[in-house]
Structure 1
Amino acid sequence: MRTLFLAAGVVILAGSAQARDAAECEAIHNTALSGGFVSSARVVEASDTLPAYCEIRATALPAISIEVRLPMENWNGKYYQAGCGGFCGILGRADAAAGWVNAMKPGLMRGYATATSDSGHHALSVVDAGWADSNPHAERDWGWRSIGETHRVAQVMIERFYGGGSEQAIFQGCSTGGRMAHVAALRYPEMFDGIISGAPAMDYPGLVATKASWMMQANTAPDGSQILKPGKEKLIGDSVMAACDGLDGAEDGLISDPRACPVDLAALQCQAGQSPDSCLTPDELGVLAKWRQGPVNKAGEQLYPGGIPAGSEPFWWLWLTGDGKGGGRLVNAFTTGFGAYMAFPEDPGASWSPTDFDFETDPARMGQAAAMYNGDDPDISAFREAGGKMIVWHGWADAIVTPFKTVEWYEKAAEVAGGEDTLKENVALFMVPGLDHCGILPGPGGISQASLDPMTPLEAWLNEGVRPESIRAAE
């Protein structure tokens, strides 16, 4: 049977390598699609980095917008699906930027048929959560269903265009896309042969409601003003780096493991007559202590693993403190929208604020949301038994999606698997010093997502059995 399958695969691949013409692409517009419809099909000519492809726009009911890109020639017989970031809602947003994270381009450049979705709703930005207001169907599609539906629709298009299905499937995503990657391994364990999960926001209620509300409350004065304002990040970061840079034996501007970094900023406390720009007030030091600690309840129980990692200070303006010009502070926008429309069984609506979050009672109220959204279950045995391979990567300097959660997940997954050696047969974890969330902002030495390439080692793992040793991009 395997010989027959391989022989059939050769026939499919031989046919798929033939060039398609514009008429064949445009004809896909008429494809009958169960539970959905095709809205357009057109040829996009080759660019400097991408081959010519057939761009198909489709909808999986009720409202999952999907884009499929099929190479006009030299299809490699395989499929590549990309996740989306934040609350999603903007189809193909990642491919409009230069980076590869959550984008179809890494697959398309290598000859894969590719697809992505808006996760089931239209939004004005990735921090807009108003679409979820009293809309459980949209929340379900964002949580998990859009992953399977994107794959289903893409496979119909591939079959129609090439005359045969894909022989291998890869999923790639970061942040929310990383959450989707873990959800795919749990809910669709046989759907993807390879998965790339970056900075996975795998526990949205714990991260975006509990932890982010803690961060905001810690930095909010009784009068509602911001305590730690923009401008102190370098002062704090320089002090942290001076204390911890050399702990790994190399003074290179990187903190290899912030868990080993003792953060004591007492020496920065303002003294009489000192310029406030060169020191920290007691209130500011209090904010930092809570940020490092992470959320706890009155009994002192940790509600989410760890706090903000040492070494992430250069990126605080974007996520936590703002740039002083109205930009940044994206954590505030995410947690406000999530708490208002996505976290609780009954949406409190636009009047809700993260300052309303109750650390004694609210975590338990989000069980329904956790069941719908989360991908932090460490039991991926079904994915492992199906032979799936998974690369997980995370920046140690991620100030929004706590890297400590990813390490905790990996350690628990190793326990479930019966030991780390067994887990390593299917999962490779890479924690990257100095890297911002999804490598969005450049860090020390210019490290960013452009410094990484998890695709090449994943292909080698899937096709040659060579386990990844690094995800650094070739220079």
Structure 2
Amino acid sequence: MAQRTPSLPLHCTDLAGAVLPPASIGLPTNGALVMSAAMIPATATGNLNGDFCRLTGVIRAQSAGTPDIRFEVNLPSQWNHRALQFGGGGYSGVVVTGTGPMPFSPERAPLARGYATFGDDSGHNGTSSEANFGLLEEAVTNFGFAHLKKAHDVALALIERGYGQAPEHVYFGGGSTGGREGYTVIQRYPDDYDGVIANSPALNFSGVRLTGVVVGRHEYRTPGGYLSPQLLERVYERVMQVCDTLDGAADAIISDVEACRAKEPEIIDSLRCQNEDQADRRHVGDDCLTPPQVATLETLRDGLRLPYALAWNVDSYRGYNVFEGTRLTSTLGLAHSPQRQTQPAFAPNGYLYAQGDAYLKYFITHDPNFDSTNFDVTHPGRYRERLFTLSATIGAMNPDVSRYIARGGKLITLQGLADEVISPNQTIAYYQALVGRYGEERVDSFMRLYMVPGYQHGNGVFIPSVDLLGALDDWVSHGNAPETLFATDIAQATNGRTRPLCRYPAFPRYLGKGNLNLATSFTCAMP
């Protein structure tokens, strides 16, 4: 298709004060209001996006006391006739402006590349770690899925007003919570999007939060179950000693995760305390694992199994690659404080536990003083129905994406195999469920899954940088389905080295010769 002539926004400043009635938005609201409209010149301080029209506004909530959804829409002067919705992170709470780069991409921001961009705060004000909005039902529904549709419809209406025409293609891009949102729009609003980038997706949201509660109980309620940062680092170092070279390269990256998994019993045995005095110790900082400490790590490895079903018959959450290269001493890993704090926080008490604790307090029990270490997730009692409802609202586990496939929608997902926040095995399990439902050929027609060795949740020994948006747009616009991609490492210690991004289940294997820092020295091998 020939590129149309770029067009300036027609009515930028005139859009200030524009009102969109409730009927123009596909879900119930009290309408939307554009509160500001301004042309941002290319010469403005800090602006790397060229001339663009910046619109900010609110989508009015229906329930008294529920925050409005705050949004931003950006209309570039040099428009490429495409629109991109940005996803949020954590519990959101801050407007995603859409003016920055895509996750994992070093290239110019989409806005600078001609995309009309938009984002929102998911319907509440706060930081990405604050969960107290869970006390408000409309805010929970907005966070789970509704803000995506509401912001989409408002943005598309404003784009059409600004340019006098609708975009040719509409995309969604996000990671973590934004990744879950990407799967959410595919499942709930398949007609609204032509392509989605959904990285490190927080699928099975209730499952990951309950897993955090279970791990927290092992750390803080089971005598001796806590692991110090020194001991967690000892586990990581032992795994590296056994598994680093299984892919042919001594590069501090465990690429052949399945071969490493086969050595897991050997790794655990080598880390166990070998005499009774060690096994009975109660202090931290030693270099071996007591039985309660092994149990804590095995709980994280094994994940969650429930004797009841959540929405879409989900009754489990897949465990983490604890003994395959996941570094649990990261900021988002397990606890960094010897004792549980009165108010659990990420760094002292561990991301998974702190988030699970907040989820129980605000979303499930509606009791800010609730003690999550007393909560038995396998026997939730009167909270079981609430868990089911929330899993339907936030979970994004519906396996029926037939409408999205049928209309030609495309999906790219990238995630780290060493992710310590969102289990990579849960993402793989959803992908495998799609293959089981639709067959590999049909899934290949719309989806690409790239699992990245050494990459955690925004950190790691390998942090990929790759133009996924360019790959998605080429697939949607020209039918060029991406295969092996090439990523540049932006981790500080190894910045600039490259590796192939292999389509799951393949992984990068060293060819046995050539520069370890060059992707051309590796091939994509099957486990």
Paired residues of 1:84 and 1:102 also in contact (CA < 8 A): no
Instruction: Tell me how far apart the structure 2 counterparts of residues 324 and 253 of structure 1 sit (CA, whole Å).
Output: 27
* Residue among 88, 112, 117 paired with 1:114: 117
Correspondence for 1:42: 38
Correspondence for 1:411: 432
CA gap of 1:230–1:428, structure 2 versus 1, over 3 A, is same
Correspondence for 2:58: 59
CA gap of 1:322–1:227, structure 2 versus 1, over 3 A, is closer
Correspondence for 1:420: 440
Correspondence for 1:3: none
- AA at the equivalent of 2:41: E
Please say if 1:448 is aligned against 2:463.
Answer: yes
Correspondence for 2:504: none
* Residue among 346, 367, 379 paired with 2:388: 367
Paired residues of 2:104 and 2:467 also in contact (CA < 8 A): no
Describe the superposition over 1:267-313 as per-residue Cα deviations: whole angstroms up to 9, x where unpaired: 233457989443334432332222222234689x9732223443444
Aligned to 1:232, what secondary structure does the other structure show? helix
Structure 2 portions without partners, runs of 5+: 22-30, 62-67, 279-283, 309-313, 339-344, 489-497, 499-527
Instruction: Tell me how far apart the structure 2 counterparts of residues 257 and 337 of structure 1 sit (CA, whole Å).
Output: 35
* Residue among 103, 112, 121 paired with 1:100: 103
- AA at the equivalent of 1:435: Y
Q: Displacement, 1:202? A: 1.4
Correspondence for 2:12: 25
Instruction: Tell me how far apart the structure 2 counterparts of residues 87 and 406 of structure 1 sit (CA, whole Å).
Output: 19
Q: Displacement, 1:330? A: 2.2
Instruction: Tell me how far apart the structure 2 counterparts of residues 313 and 332 of structure 1 sit (CA, whole Å).
Output: 17
* Residue among 296, 299, 305 paired with 1:290: 299
Please say if 1:179 is aligned against 2:180.
Answer: yes
Structure 1 or 2: more helix by fraction? 1
Describe the superposition over 1:85-120 as per-residue Cα deviations: whole angstroms up to 9, x where unpaired: 111111127867x77369997421211000011111
Q: Displacement, 1:334? A: 1.3
1:73-472 alignment runs, 5 A limit: 73-92=77-96, 100=103, 106-123=109-126, 125-133=127-135, 135-208=136-209, 210-222=210-222, 227-260=226-259, 261=261, 262-263=263-264, 264-270=267-273, 276-296=285-305, 303-323=316-336, 328=347, 329-342=350-363, 344=364, 347-362=365-380, 364-365=384-385, 366-417=387-438, 419-437=439-457, 440-441=458-459, 443-444=460-461, 447-449=462-464, 451-472=465-486
Q: Displacement, 1:215? A: 1.6
Structure 1 portions without partners, runs of 5+: 1-5
Paired residues of 2:231 and 2:285 also in contact (CA < 8 A): no
Aligned to 1:317, what secondary structure does the other structure show? coil
Aligned to 2:70, what secondary structure does the other structure show? strand
Correspondence for 2:511: none
Paired residues of 1:202 and 1:375 also in contact (CA < 8 A): yes
Instruction: Tell me how far apart the structure 2 counterparts of residues 101 and 61 of structure 1 sit (CA, whole Å).
Output: 33
Q: Displacement, 1:181? A: 0.4
Aligned to 1:206, what secondary structure does the other structure show? helix
Instruction: Tell me how far apart the structure 2 counterparts of residues 28 and 104 of structure 1 sit (CA, whole Å).
Output: 30
Instruction: Tell me how far apart the structure 2 counterparts of residues 269 and 79 of structure 1 sit (CA, whole Å).
Output: 54
Aligned to 2:56, what secondary structure does the other structure show? strand
CA gap of 1:357–1:99, structure 2 versus 1, over 3 A, is farther
Q: Displacement, 1:398? A: 0.4
Instruction: Tell me how far apart the structure 2 counterparts of residues 304 and 327 of structure 1 sit (CA, whole Å).
Output: 21
CA gap of 1:121–1:101, structure 2 versus 1, over 3 A, is farther
| TM-score for both structures, normalised by structure 2 | 0.77
Paired residues of 1:94 and 1:101 also in contact (CA < 8 A): no
**Total equivalences in the alignment:** 445
CA gap of 1:94–1:239, structure 2 versus 1, over 3 A, is farther
Aligned to 1:319, what secondary structure does the other structure show? coil
